[in-house]
Amino acid sequence: MPSRHRRRLTPLAPVTAAALIGTAVILAGPSPTVRAADAPSAALAAAPAAVPATIPLTFRNNSGRGEQVYVYNLGTELSTGRQGWADANGTFHPWPAGGSVPVPAPDAAIVGPANGGSMTIRLPKFSGRIYFSYGQKLVFKLATGGLVQPAVQNPSDPNRNILFNWSEYTLNDAGLWINSTQVDMVSAPYAVGVKRPDGSVATTGRLKPGGYKGFFDALRNRPGSWSRLVQTRTDGTVLRALAPSHGIEAGALPAGVMDEYINRVWSTYTGSTLTVTPFADRPSVKYHGRVSGDVMNFTDGAGAVVTSFQKPDSDSVFGCYKRLDAPNDQVRGPISRTLCAGFNRSTLLTNPNQPDTSSAGFYRDPVTNHYAREIHAQMADGKAYGFAFDDVGAHESLVHDGDPRQAYVTLDPFD
């Protein structure tokens, strides 16, 4: 079964509006979250729909803040593949056509509960995002390629000074997957949950007491340019910390911040072998990597080269894309996601057999993804989506149930 993971938000279809390049990202296909295609196709085909057309989601506001909260449920209707939004009753509304110059999207905001309150909305069978914002509605526009979503690494993005965040989910006939994600940024704290048929609730995404402040303090005190990932409003409000790849894009983090570690990895595996066993349930499937010049070649058990990787740059490592592209196949993608996890966690030099799934050895090298390191350190259960393939070894903040009775999003205190 394909891995369920949160990818870095990038266009999923060709973008025809050239003016959008570098200013925003477009959701033009299924949401880059846990997708319908991730569920076992045989199970979907063989079994009748056990999951109803909609399920309740209770949205709780325990933030301690006084601003009005706005909630959005945006994504792909899985039965048709159409893009749109759902209202509080779970009714789907397709987006109208966009323009070569992006036009305002219909107002999809649901007025959220005040601090201390809660409300219940309905989730339809979607692959999408639940956005929430404090004090202001978010700005969404429609281009010819689809919905233009916030891209706050761009200082001119209209959502740059709004405090907001989002969760990602897929609800289909195989159940509900819902996450808390930090792949693009760490911002307003929240937790997610799912109620199981026995009445128990699985939750994830909650910070430790003091974890929100602890994360931002740790970044600000980290030597180098890591403190520059933090974005604040002119009134001093902390808005977010950009993920490192977006930080490089925004000029906040040096483009070569991981180069020294990447160079050491390349040097090491010029003279030795990196063994990747990408499938936990298929331990006999192994690939062997050796570096020749700027290329790491992977061979199978018969010695045939199955895929090759150009020496990555820091952005490729943090974003798990470009030179570490991971197609949804059975060879290159699984190897790439293993490399991505090893680079971000800095385990490739301490263990020549990857993936290394024990968190005890993660982020020990001075050159590492300190953003991911710090957010994991502040999570109550230790789980986060600090980068796109943080699910390698099951370290991601994701809950799932095949017969969900209810979902939860809880806005947590900013402490």
- What is the Cα–Cα distance from 49 to 175, expressed in whole angstroms? 10
Which tokens go with 125? Answer: 């069978």
Residue type, 331: V
38 noted as active-site residue: no
Q: Does 184 participate in catalysis according to the annotation? A: yes
HSE on the CB side for 407, CA within 13 Å? Answer: 30
Judged on CB neighbours under 10 Å (0-12, 13-18, 19+), 154 is: middle
Task: Considering only the C-alpha atoms of the chain, give the largest distance between any 2 of them, rounded to a whole number of Å.
Answer: 63
Task: Give the chain's end-to-end CA distance (angstroms, integer).
Answer: 39
Q: Which of 38, 77, 168, 374 is catalytic?
A: 168
- Residue (of 385, 274, 378) closest to 336 by Cα position: 274
Catalytic annotation, pick one of 38, 184, 315, 401: 184
Total number of residues shown for the chain: 415
Per-residue burial over 71-95, b = 16 or more CB atoms within 10 Å of its CB, e = otherwise? bbbbbbbbeeeebbbbeeebebeeb
- The whole-angstrom separation of Cα 160 and Cα 74 is 19
Task: State both tokens at 103.
Answer: 């036009």
Q: Give the residue ranges of DSSP H helices in 193-287.
A: 211-221, 244-249, 259-271
**Secondary structure, 3-state, 186-216:** ECCCEEEEEECCCCCEEEECCECCCHHHHHH
Rounded CA-CA distance 179/409 in Å is 10
Nearest CA to 19 among 139, 96, 100, 98? 100
Bridge partners, residue 69, by sequence:
134
Q: Which residues are catalytic?
A: 168, 184
